[in-house]
Chain A
């Protein structure tokens, strides 16, 4: 067995210092020592010694705590489970049938497009399939009353009041607290199979004082949290986002308002917060009730270099998208 250095383990500072002073340099040195002997040698309490020894018993340590295995074969990643419909025929067609567990989709569009309505119809499909949903709204666009009204059309079974957990997010700090606590949240709600974050771009929009590197660091953190949640917990994640204008020069490179030749609307947060396996959908309204829906990136083509087809959607009177 190769000798892993003790400094690579997650130990508190004083414990590491004691271990190094006593001459332990690799994990192999700590094999076969009892808790009492270690406590005596390092002159620490029994509980500290036990904590130190438990950290060194890897990987059985992580397995025993029931933490999700972050190692899986590529074949199991490729295996797609049963698909749940999004509630909209065009969106289903773009996603080749619907949403399967472990997928991440971002729905973006200008104001007036039914992004939130599409997200709620996805929630409705999941509730119909008796799956638990965690719903977070960052811009007060979908109140509990709206959810109640739309899910109420399902009737009393399944009990949507128990299956859907709703929470408001009012600032960027709250959003980052959610992201950092996502593993714990998923552990306390092990049945959750859908996570919806409405208007995830809004907390960033409200904080123009962030430097580019700080913003990128936060987006990177979101990406990591999503990747771990999707791999370990088989969660489906749906986010909605606003758009912002990007100015391009005549040759296609990024320009400024002075030099630019055309402007395009792109999702506000860009690609930085989504793992490579995400689907990104964009909606464009033609008039009040109908418009076009299109995929701008898929797992096989994250930068959207291949053009994809656009389908039309229609919003019915009671707000559902078809």
Chain B
């Protein structure tokens, strides 16, 4: 934080004389011994050691994070939870896993290719769009694979008044790199008239994956910063964010081990989101009849901050729509 931002509390003359000595930010002022700074100040400015000490105390107070009592925090969180939009998939077991997909949290949906991640996200948001007529949802597409036909096909199965305008309220943005993703987030800021109910990132791996490297931590820092930004956005605007993540190979030392896949973007990505759901296809249950070909998918909660982890549920996908088993 710059000292000029604290000007009404600190005197402008003090700030400008500190600036002449090269002390511009709060960390510059707080992490140097007071006497050393005092000696560097020129005597014409007429600042006494006492003034400087008072200024340092004031800066420490203003620059520190405010403390909050536990019961206040609980009250705030419960209130935020009530105000936030609720999103459901329509399948009982799946909704019980995480108490729906709403709230002010960042939920990661991960799984192998063709395991139903995009389908699940589409079903959840289209159901919400057709139930709530004022809702607006932002879909950030990072691979160019968003299919309007798939969305229209799912919408046909919902029958309510808001269904006809659902596609109008689904905003699709293209973002092929992190900067475009930040821009897309800015563009989807809630407007006064409509309410932003959810943001979906499909998929986040092409945005953050190329940044990660074994020789430098810069990519990892950019990833962490982006995920913290998403978390702050979600808390500030009471808007759940669904993040779809792909998988990468788990490298085993023993060559005889079968190829196991794990969520991509490293082991720390799991901790940057509020909940992680792992989807995997159960091909042994799939049937391919003429009329009813469907695939069965199992959803397992790998980690969750607010609900019990390691619980799982199964659902089936038929023609792009999610059904209970």
Q: Bound state CA distance, A9 and B145, in angstroms? A: 26
For residues 72 through 118 of chain A, which have their beta carbon under 8 Å from a beta carbon of chain B? Answer: 72-75, 77-78
Beyond A9-B182, A59-B187, A70-B175, 11 additional pairs, beta carbon < 8 A: A2-B237, A7-B225, A22-B2, A22-B24, A22-B25, A58-B183, A59-B183, A62-B183, A71-B188, A226-B144, A227-B144
Q: Which residue of A lies closest to B149 (CB)?
A: A300
10 contacting pairs across A/B (C-beta < 8 A): A8-B222, A58-B183, A70-B173, A73-B170, A73-B172, A77-B146, A77-B172, A78-B152, A224-B176, A227-B144
Q: Bound state CA distance, A10 and B182, in angstroms? A: 11
Q: Within 8 Å of chain A (Cβ to Cβ): is B169?
A: yes
**Does the CB pair B168–A275 fall under 8 Å?**
no
Q: Within 8 Å of chain B (Cβ to Cβ): is A299?
A: yes
Which of B3, B169, B226 makes the CB contact (< 8 A) with A73? Answer: B169
* Nearest-Cβ distance from residue B311 to partner chain A, whole angstroms: 32
* Nearest-Cβ distance from residue B138 to partner chain A, whole angstroms: 8
* Nearest-Cβ distance from residue A297 to partner chain B, whole angstroms: 11
**Does the CB pair B226–A8 fall under 8 Å?**
yes
Q: Bound state CA distance, A4 and B186, in angstroms? A: 9
Q: Mark A191-228, 1 if CB is under 8 A from B, else 0.
A: 00000000000000000000000000000000110111
Task: List the A side residues contacting B2 at CB < 8 Å.
Answer: 22-24, 29
Q: Which residue of B lies closest to A299 (CB)?
A: B149
Q: Mark B170-193, 1 if CB is under 8 A from A, else 0.
A: 111111101110111011110000
Task: List the A side residues contacting B174 at CB < 8 Å.
Answer: 70-71, 227-228, 231
For residues 1 through 50 of chain A, which have their beta carbon under 8 Å from a beta carbon of chain B? Answer: 1-5, 7-10, 21-25, 29
**Does the CB pair B168–A73 fall under 8 Å?**
yes
| Interface, chain A (partner B; CB < 8 A) | 1-5, 7-10, 21-25, 29, 58-59, 62, 70-75, 77-78, 223-224, 226-228, 231, 275-277, 298-300, 302
Q: Which residue of B lies closest to A4 (CB)?
A: B182
**Does the CB pair A2–B144 fall under 8 Å?**
no
Q: Bound state CA distance, A75 and B151, in angstroms? A: 10
**Does the CB pair A71–B167 fall under 8 Å?**
no
Binds A, one of B41-49, B85-93, B94-102, B228-236: B228-236
**Does the CB pair B147–A70 fall under 8 Å?**
no
**Does the CB pair B148–A78 fall under 8 Å?**
yes
Q: Within 8 Å of chain A (Cβ to Cβ): is B261?
A: no
Q: Mark B68-111, 1 if CB is under 8 A from A, else 0.
A: 00000000000000000000000000000000000000000000
**Does the CB pair B173–A71 fall under 8 Å?**
yes
Q: Bound state CA distance, A73 and B148, in angstroms? A: 10
Q: Mark B1-37, 1 if CB is under 8 A from A, else 0.
A: 1110100000000000000000011100000000000
Q: Which residue of B lies closest to A1 (CB)?
A: B189
**Does the CB pair B147–A300 fall under 8 Å?**
yes
* Nearest-Cβ distance from residue A61 to partner chain B, whole angstroms: 9
**Does the CB pair B151–A74 fall under 8 Å?**
yes
Q: Mark B182-222, 1 if CB is under 8 A from A, else 0.
A: 11101111000000000000000000000000000000001
Which of B145, B167, B184 makes the CB contact (< 8 A) with A75? Answer: B167
Q: Within 8 Å of chain A (Cβ to Cβ): is B278?
A: no
Given contacts A23-B24, A228-B174, A276-B145, contact A71 B187 (CB under 8 A): yes
**Does the CB pair B170–A74 fall under 8 Å?**
yes
**Does the CB pair A276–B229 fall under 8 Å?**
no
Given contacts A4-B186, A58-B183, A58-B186, contact A74 B149 (CB under 8 A): no
Q: Within 8 Å of chain A (Cβ to Cβ): is B40?
A: no
**Does the CB pair B144–A275 fall under 8 Å?**
yes
Task: List the A side residues contacting B236 at CB < 8 Å.
Answer: 2
